[in-house]
Chain A
Amino acid sequence: MKKLITIILLFLLNISSSYALIEVDITRGNLDPLPIAVSPLHVDVKSEDVDDIKVKNLGEDISKIIEKNFRFTGLFNPINKEAFVQKPDIAHLKPRFEDWRLIKAQALVTGKLLIKDGKLKVEFRLWDLTASKEISALAFTTTPSNWRRVAHIISDKIYERLTGEEGYFDTRIIYVSETGPKNQRVKRLAIMDQDGAQVKYLTLGNELVLTPRFNPANQLVTYLSYFRNLPRVYLLDIETGNQEVVGNFPGMTFAPRFSPDGKKIIMSFAKDGNSDIFTMDIETRVVEKITENSSIDTSPSYSPDGKYICFNSDRSGLQQIYVMKADGSNVKRITFGKGLYGTPVWSPRGDLIAFTKVHKGRFYIGVMRPDGSGERLLTENFYQEAPSWSPNGRVLVFYRETKSGPKGKGFSAKLWSIDITGYNERQIGTETDASDPSWSSLLSK
């Protein structure tokens, strides 16, 4: 993943948002998604095929990925290409605005690409059809195998220009792939692009693995493995495949996450029936005990500034969410609603904590402010848990399990996403059943 895409900003025009007439409000459920036309990128005739990439189709393929990203947000409504009225190369030079307005588009994306000497050169432009002007443009060069990321980076730039928020398309999700019968699940770590493409399996399924989480730079993953039947927190380098046990604990370690600076892993350590929260500095190996309580303390998650930790504890008798300072002082319970609360995870924006709530046999994904006020339940189901934030703090991914019949018949586990507005709930397609998703940060940042 170190092979970071090289982005060369050639020109970036008129970025001041005061000029734009079109904008998309993402702070509420969008009942009127913005009609947008994504023209296939024009493929330069001088382009050469590389490896298994058919350059002739690449312009079309990239535009389709952009359209899928936009459709998935619920904020945009990509217009059917059959209605398009201008050829990609001409539209990219200067669209006939009135023709595009005729098919009810309010924004238009055009672009062109060239593969030459083993390099992929792409440029795109975003046009405001209401104001009849170009409002964003970008050109960059990368290796041809990165073409999907090109589509995601373009999507991010457009999303940012139109919503005023950072995008989240050039990202990946790590999760646990599940196969086999419910009482003998085979679980493997898997990683995929945010849109479900390019799945890679990182473990073979020989041992049970759970709860993978990215570090802030997205090269390391911490997770729980039952290797040799000893449940311990592991650290995996995705690029090299190297893995190691985190710390030297004489018992189960679990529920790991990275600190926001990536220097520490915070996790639970269970011994003699008591689970407490510890941190380990990855470089110095120094271990610190953060909580000391005879209750179960688990599911710790740092605030993005690293000053606070939210966590799950049953010290009141049943599962509730607490917040404390990063050194373990000033512990405060923040959930007082009816039911049980678990899996707290702090938004990357710092403004909210997402959680799972269990009440009267139903499972909810919700958000609340870090002081516990403003609780909002976004979705209810038979079983769902483990929310993880998109890097812009606008979308949650989580997993949902179905109720199963005798012998576990009909059981499935799938990944879902929902906007924090409570709208736009969608299943994320995966090859196998899936659980424990964790969203990366933006790869190109």
Chain B
Amino acid sequence: MKFETNLNKIIIVLFASLALSACSTAKKSDNGSSGDVYTGKDTVEYLASGVPDRVFFATNRTSLTTASRETLRKQSTYLRKNKDLNITIEGHADERGTREYNLALGERRANAAKDYLMTYGISGKRISVISYGKERPVNPDSSSLSWSQNRRSVTVKVN
């Protein structure tokens, strides 16, 4: 069985990000449902001072908000400075979806973050992704707030 290389994808994402960086209304185009993206700081940890480890997503969405892109740019700067560091990006979903779909959703969220880091020059070889679906909530309440905190991708240092 054959698997495509990442190259095509990288190039496409690169163009896409160039287009987006020239367009400040990108947030509005997030399928119109970025309303329930968590924007607070609770649950957030830091890879280094000023470098948040996670970004948040809207319900059933995998697109990055402006704030998420800013966080990921900080991560890419940090990763460029620490060239020996490899990372895993964990993708997560909230508990309000079916288990199998949420596994796919988490994988897509982690890859959204990975793709963005790659457009900022971080080699895909340094990044592995894993989806936990809804299996590892950071906040175990059943509330809108906790669900928004659980819809996340988290960058974790591997070494």
- Please give the residue numbers on chain A whose beta carbons come within 8 Å of chain B beta carbons, in ascending order: 181-183, 185, 208, 210-211, 224, 229, 231, 250-252, 254-255, 268, 270-275, 287, 289, 296, 298-299, 312, 314, 318-319, 340, 342-343, 356, 358, 361, 382-383, 385-386, 401, 403-408, 411, 435-436
Chain B residues whose C-beta falls within 8 Å of the C-beta of A289 in the assembled complex: 1
B142 lies within 8 A of A252 (CB): no
Closest to A356 in B: B98
Chain B residues whose C-beta falls within 8 Å of the C-beta of A406 in the assembled complex: 141
* B103 sits at the interface (CB 8 A): yes
A208-B135, A272-B111, A405-B142 known; A342+B100 contact, CB < 8 A: yes
Distance (Å) between the CB of B125 and the closest chain A CB?
13
A412 to B115, CA, bound (A): 37
Interface positions, chain B 110-151, Cβ under 8 Å from A, are 110-112, 115, 130-132, 135-142
A343 lies within 8 A of B100 (CB): yes
Closest to B110 in A: A273
Chain B residues whose C-beta falls within 8 Å of the C-beta of A314 in the assembled complex: 60, 101
B130 lies within 8 A of A229 (CB): yes
A and B contact pairs by CB, cutoff 8 A, 24 listed: A208-B135, A231-B130, A231-B131, A270-B103, A270-B107, A270-B131, A271-B3, A272-B111, A273-B107, A275-B108, A289-B1, A299-B98, A299-B100, A319-B97, A342-B100, A343-B98, A356-B98, A385-B99, A404-B142, A406-B141, A407-B140, A407-B141, A408-B141, A411-B140
Partner pick for B137 among A182, A403, A435, CB 8 A cutoff: A182
B140 lies within 8 A of A182 (CB): yes
B95 lies within 8 A of A312 (CB): no
A272-B6, A408-B141 known; A252+B60 contact, CB < 8 A: no
Interface positions, chain B 14-67, Cβ under 8 Å from A, are 60, 62
Distance (Å) between the CB of A321 and the closest chain B CB?
11
* B9 sits at the interface (CB 8 A): yes
Closest to A296 in B: B104
A406 to B142, CA, bound (A): 8
A224 to B99, CA, bound (A): 12
Chain A residues whose C-beta falls within 8 Å of the C-beta of B105 in the assembled complex: 296
Chain B residues whose C-beta falls within 8 Å of the C-beta of A318 in the assembled complex: 60
Partner pick for A275 among B3, B104, B110, B135, CB 8 A cutoff: B104
B130 lies within 8 A of A358 (CB): no
B6 lies within 8 A of A342 (CB): no
A403 to B132, CA, bound (A): 20
Distance (Å) between the CB of B57 and the closest chain A CB?
13
Distance (Å) between the CB of A273 and the closest chain B CB?
3
Partner pick for A296 among B6, B108, B135, B141, CB 8 A cutoff: B108
Partner pick for A312 among B100, B131, B137, B140, CB 8 A cutoff: B100
A268 lies within 8 A of B104 (CB): yes
A299 to B133, CA, bound (A): 14
Chain A residues whose C-beta falls within 8 Å of the C-beta of B103 in the assembled complex: 210, 224, 231, 252, 254-255, 270, 298
A405 to B142, CA, bound (A): 6
A250-B3, A272-B6, A273-B112 known; A298+B101 contact, CB < 8 A: yes
A270-B131, A275-B107, A287-B1 known; A296+B140 contact, CB < 8 A: no
B136 lies within 8 A of A183 (CB): yes
B100 lies within 8 A of A401 (CB): no
Distance (Å) between the CB of A282 and the closest chain B CB?
16
* B157 sits at the interface (CB 8 A): no
Chain A residues whose C-beta falls within 8 Å of the C-beta of B107 in the assembled complex: 251-252, 270, 273, 275
A407 to B67, CA, bound (A): 27
Q: Known contacts A273-B110, A361-B96; can you find 9 more A-B pairs with CB under 8 A?
A: A210-B99, A229-B130, A270-B131, A273-B111, A274-B108, A312-B100, A356-B98, A382-B142, A408-B141
